[in-house]
Amino acid sequence: MRIGIDLGGTKIEVIALSDQGEELFRHRVATPRDDYQQTLEAIATLVALAEEKTGQQGSVGIGIPGTLSPYTGKVKNANSTWLNGQPMDKDLSALLKREVRIANDANCLAVSEAIDGAAAGKSTVFAVIIGTGCGAGVALNGQAHIGGNGNAGEWGHNPLPWMDEDELRYRQEVTCYCGKAGCIETFISGTGFATDYHRLSGQQRKGAEIIDLLAQQDPLAELAMNRYELRLAKSLGQVINILDPDVIVLGGGMSNVERLYQTVPLLMKNWVFGGECETPVLRAQHGDSSGVRGAAWLWPL
């Protein structure tokens, strides 16, 4: 049995999978924000609960909103900042009395979809989370690719490519939480989409509300979506020029916008070197479950 943990900023979810990928148990609790020790204890409690309910002991993989530094062995780049600087895998391994594997949550998404999801059977998978924030992960032959600095897939913290004049002005208005200006995350996260609509309309609305306005043929919602689609296409076109993955998988709240799968692949051709691009852009088959399933699959068969 494999146990996966998805550690988010607001919730921690556990899943137990059989060797065939069948879901045996799932549960979630609120994240003890700003408290590292209580976060560890919450994870340990969820693992114990999964094993109690299934009557089996399992390997443990954990997806976190950051990564482990290959140099210090400590968490870095986590937007759940209380994790940063902590030797989380060592602390949890000691607490659970077994080896624990940790990977970035977007890498877990990539692994999940490469193993038995939308990208099953593909050797190079680029998986994107476009939700409150914006991240990505890489799976090679079904395993998370971390990179020498632990930063593989940190696509959201590169500058938006091929900026037009409006995007250059916007770049000066918003600083990413990483401290840099112009990050892809500030443009194509769900937060970035809502911010752009606010710039166009003067109205504060959530992403889901803007999508509802699209169905009502609201012209400013349509303009915001057109701009979003172009920015996403440019950003993914840059990925193809560098990595040229077999498939791109989208997860997170914005991945539920159905029209993206028709518009973005066509727009991408304009930004890919040579103009040839047939790279599939697919919605994550396991949806919100992909991250926690991928954490479980950090222990391959």
Q: Which amino acid is at 180?
A: K
- Of the candidates 123, 134, 112, the one whose C-alpha atom is nearest the C-alpha of residue 192 is 134
Listed in sequence order, the residues at least 6 apart from 56 whose beta carbon sits closer than 8 Å to its beta carbon are 1, 16, 24
Answer for the pair 7, 31: CB distance below 8 angstroms, yes or no. Answer: yes
- Of the candidates 111, 103, 92, the one whose C-alpha atom is nearest the C-alpha of residue 68 is 103
φ/ψ of residue 99, rounded to 5: -70, 135
Matching fold, domains 2-104 and 118-284: yes
Here the tokens at position 12 are 């921690």
Element (H, E) at 5: strand 2-7
Q: Quickly name the fold that domain 2-104 has.
A: Nucleotidyltransferase; domain 5 (3.30.420)
pLDDT given for residue 89 in this prediction: 96
pLDDT given for residue 300 in this prediction: 79
Q: Where are the domains of the chain?
A: 2-104, 118-284
* Total Cβ atoms within 10 A of residue 34: 10
pLDDT given for residue 160 in this prediction: 97
CA distances from 267 to 19, 163, 211, 241 (A): 40, 15, 20, 14
pLDDT given for residue 172 in this prediction: 83
- What are the start-end ranges of the E strands in 118-256? 124-130, 134-140, 143-144, 247-251
CA distances from 222 to 131, 210, 211 (A): 19, 9, 9
CA distances from 103 to 18, 68, 138, 143 (A): 20, 7, 11, 11
pLDDT given for residue 281 in this prediction: 98
- Of the candidates 272, 267, 280, the one whose C-alpha atom is nearest the C-alpha of residue 237 is 272
What's the CATH number for 118-284? 3.30.420.40
Considering only CA atoms, give the Rg of the chain.
Answer: 19
pLDDT given for residue 95 in this prediction: 97
C-alpha to C-alpha distance for 12 and 26, rounded to whole angstroms = 11
C-alpha to C-alpha distance for 65 and 88, rounded to whole angstroms = 12
pLDDT in tens, 127-142: 999 988 898 999 999 9
SS3 call for 101: strand
Residues in the chain with pLDDT values less than 50: none
pLDDT given for residue 87 in this prediction: 97
pLDDT in tens, 22-47: 999 999 999 999 999 999 999 999 99
